[in-house]
């Protein structure tokens, strides 16, 4: 069986260096290229013959990288954050011109984090109140986290489907930001603290009860089974897949 040739973009970063190690340790994969900021992506992809690129760079870099991967017919597994509806639409547009190519954009590769999002979506319609608290290391590029935004969007769509009204909140705030960011009506709070890696709590509240769903990534190795699964599946999944849950066969 021939090995999948994988390029890692952002290979010197916290996630990228972990992904390089994971690809090198995978029996069915070969590290074709390890590329960071100063490397030419076009040259790197062409020379290495990479079949899949794993992007773990920066929200400012990911669109340019992805456009070039898709144009070169290289499948992509993207963990980098910064996704909006407009950005996702642009990726779909590029993929129309490259029909055999697959792109997975995963707000979170952690299996527990994906399940947290699923559980939150499932539970949301039963509770009057819902808030998301994400907690990360202070070197993180963005806030709130991509995972928290996606979680809040899933909660909001479940609430809307269930016909729930706006959340109860009679607070008048004296300081901007005290109630977090508003993502489709769901408050999202971001904590940055040395010592942390990536953590999230979903707080749900109803009459006389609360439900807390918490996930902790204690080490970046927690993301690697998801990255490798994404690489294995994306090569036979043309078009855009948004969320690792689509590769997890959750209905089994």
Ligand X SMILES: NC(=O)C1=CN([C@@H]2O[C@H](COP(=O)(O)OP(=O)(O)OC[C@H]3O[C@@H](n4cnc5c(N)ncnc54)[C@H](OP(=O)(O)O)[C@@H]3O)[C@@H](O)[C@H]2O)C=CC1
Which residues form the catalytic set? 136, 140
Question: Judged by CB under 6 A, does residue 57 bind ligand X?
Answer: yes
* CA–CA distance, 118 with 132 (Å, rounded to integer): 14
| Interacting partner of 136 out of ligand X, ligand LZUJQKHR, none (Cβ under 5 to 8 A depending on kind) | ligand LZUJQKHR
| Interacting partner of 250 out of ligand LZUJQKHR, ligand X, none (Cβ under 5 to 8 A depending on kind) | none
Query: Among 48, 80, 151, 241, which residue interacts with ligand X (rule: CB under 6 A)?
Result: 80
CB of 40 or CB of 212, closer to ligand LZUJQKHR: 212
DSSP 1: -
**At a CB cut-off of 8 Å and minimum separation 6, what does 148 contact?**
132, 134, 183, 188, 190, 200
CB of 123 or CB of 197, closer to ligand X: 197
Which residues pair with residue 192 across a beta bridge? 136
- Token pair 């390089």 in the structure block, residue: 20
Smallest distance, ligand LZUJQKHR to C-beta of residue 107, A: 5
Name which of residues 68 to 87 contact ligand LZUJQKHR (CB under 6 A). Answer: 81
For every residue of 64-118, DSSP letters joined together read HHHHHHHHTT-EEEE------HHHHHHHHHHHHTSTT-EEEE-S---HHHHHHHH
* Interface size with ligand LZUJQKHR, residues (CB under 6 A): 9
- The separation between the first and the last C-alpha atoms of the chain, rounded to the nearest angstrom, is 28
* CA–CA distance, 136 with 119 (Å, rounded to integer): 21
Q: Kindly list the residues in this chain that would bind ligand LZUJQKHR in the complex (CB under 6 A).
A: 81, 107-108, 136, 140, 145-147, 198
Q: Kindly list the residues in this chain that would bind ligand X in the complex (CB under 6 A).
A: 9-10, 12-16, 35-37, 56-59, 61, 79-81, 106-110, 141, 223
């Amino acid at each position: 069986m021939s090995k999948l040739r994988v390029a890692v973009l952002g290979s010197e970063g916290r996630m990228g260096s972990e992904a390089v190690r994971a690809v090198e340790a995978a029996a069915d994969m070969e590290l074709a290229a390890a590329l960071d900021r100063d490397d030419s992506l076009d040259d790197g992809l062409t020379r290495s013959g990479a079949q899949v690129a794993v992007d773990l760079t920066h929200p400012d870099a990911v669109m340019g990288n992805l456009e070039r991967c898709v144009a070169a017919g290289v499948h992509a597994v993207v963990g980098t954050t910064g996704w909006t509806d407009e950005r996702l639409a642009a990726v779909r547009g590029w993929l129309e011109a490259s029909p055999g190519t697959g792109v997975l954009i995963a707000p979170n590769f952690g299996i527990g984090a994906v399940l947290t999002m699923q559980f939150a979506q499932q539970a949301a319609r039963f509770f009057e109140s819902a808030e998301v608290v994400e907690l990360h290391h202070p070197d993180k590029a963005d806030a709130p986290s991509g995972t928290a935004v996606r979680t809040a969007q899933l909660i909001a769509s479940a609430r809307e489907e269930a016909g729930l009204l706006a959340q109860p909140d009679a607070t008048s705030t004296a300081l901007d930001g005290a109630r977090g960011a508003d993502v489709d009506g769901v408050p999202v709070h971001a904590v940055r603290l040395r010592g942390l890696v990536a953590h999230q709590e979903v707080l749900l509240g109803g009459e006389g009860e609360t439900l807390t769903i918490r996930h902790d990534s204690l080490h970046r190795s927690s993301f690697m089974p998801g990255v490798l699964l994404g690489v294995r599946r994306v090569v036979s999944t043309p078009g855009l897949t948004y969320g690792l849950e689509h590769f997890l066969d959750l209905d089994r």
